[in-house]
Amino acid sequence: MIERVPAAEGVPRHVAIIMDGNRRWALANGLPALEGHRRGVAALERAVDAALQRGIAMLTVYAFSEENWKRGGSEVAGLFGIAERFARDRAGALAARGVRVRVIGRRDRLPAGLSDAFRSLEERTAQGTALLLMIAVDYGARAELRDACRALARDVAAGTLAPDQIDDASIAARLWTAGLPDPDLVVRTGGELRLSNFLLYQSAYAELWSTPVPWPEFDGSALDRALDDFTSRERRFGG
């Protein structure tokens, strides 16, 4: 069953953002990569504020992909430290604004401190109804689909599901986003034009929008440009 997530009239219910460009922004400004990630956290807070103000019901952000493990160990450790501080320091403010946080991805590979911080963040914001903020960490859409296929295969082997019963709903129910609506709009910052293994199944009919603005500089006006473009399109869903 899809969780009911209402949206303000005229805006997409669910906006997903590929937060790209932190390291390139830092390099262009003569700063270390971690400073780009720190500024990225500030941009995330601006995006949350903008989503609340514009009546967006659900915001999903791509914070750390499974491919990001290929980066240097010090950068990964620093990025996780920034994420842990955000989770611990901002939980109260997010809860006060009615933001509920959900984290998706593989938590078994995350440092214990970060995993605990995410669990606490979810618990402290569980009553939020103004905005659902979904943070994808150690996430990969292909890994998500593999897990869903394995779950289906186990159910078929156990005799609780017939192969002919596998449909879109049964697949969606076994994804990490089970019960949540698909994104209406996928935004990518930093100027690239690819999904980078992000919500591949869920984005089948999402509108795509890219901006050259790097994530550390993203703000409400950049989101407004994406929303304006979205509302100007005719969504036909393949029809």
Q: Which residues are catalytic?
A: 20, 68
* Residue 126: burial class (beta carbons within 10 Å; 0-12, 13-18, 19+): exposed
Element (H, E) at 206: none
Phi, psi angle pair for 136, to nearest 5°: -95, 115
Give the position of tokens 């939020």: 128
The DSSP code for 158 is H
Cα(218)–Cα(10) distance, integer angstroms: 22
211's CB contacts (< 8 A; 6+ apart) are: 187, 188, 189, 190, 191, 218, 222, 225, 226
Nearest to 115 by CA among 67, 83, 93, 139: 83
